[in-house]
Amino acid sequence: MTAFVVRALLSGLIVATVALLARRSPALGALVASLPLVSILGMLWLWRDTGDRARLAAHSEATFWYVLPSLPMFLLMPALLRAGVGFEPALLAGCGLTVALYCLTVLIAARFGVSL
């Protein structure tokens, strides 16, 4: 339970830091948010908990494939916001696009023998 609390606090600290930085400088907040800090922490904790090389390799590879379909969201949202769409609908559209692209990625990856 202690490990869970530490992990949750650290993850929350990262999100809070990004939010504070973005208030001062949107670009700096974006830079910190784009760092794979959560992925690295997840890999560290997975390694600490399992020490399983194969599991960590599979996790790292799957993370790569899941990052790709999430990227268009970061182009769609600013386009919608600049076009006058409200924040909530723009966020929902971005999330919806990401989910659809996740599903498509899983289907395409399976055709090439990549299991996600």
Name the amino acid, one letter, at 59.
Answer: H
Q: Which amino acid is at 113?
A: G
As a whole number of angstroms, the distance between CA 66 and CA 64 comes to 6
Q: According to the model, what pLDDT value does residue 93 have? A: 98
Give, in order, the Cα–Cα distances in Å from 57 to each of 64, 74, 108, 109.
11, 27, 20, 17
Statement: the pTM of the whole predicted model exceeds 0.95: no
Contact 32, 5 (CB under 8 A): no
Domain boundaries, the chain: 53-116
CA distance 7 to 22: 23
Report the chain (116 residues): mean pLDDT per 10 consecutive residues.
88 90 92 88 93 96 94 97 98 98 95 90
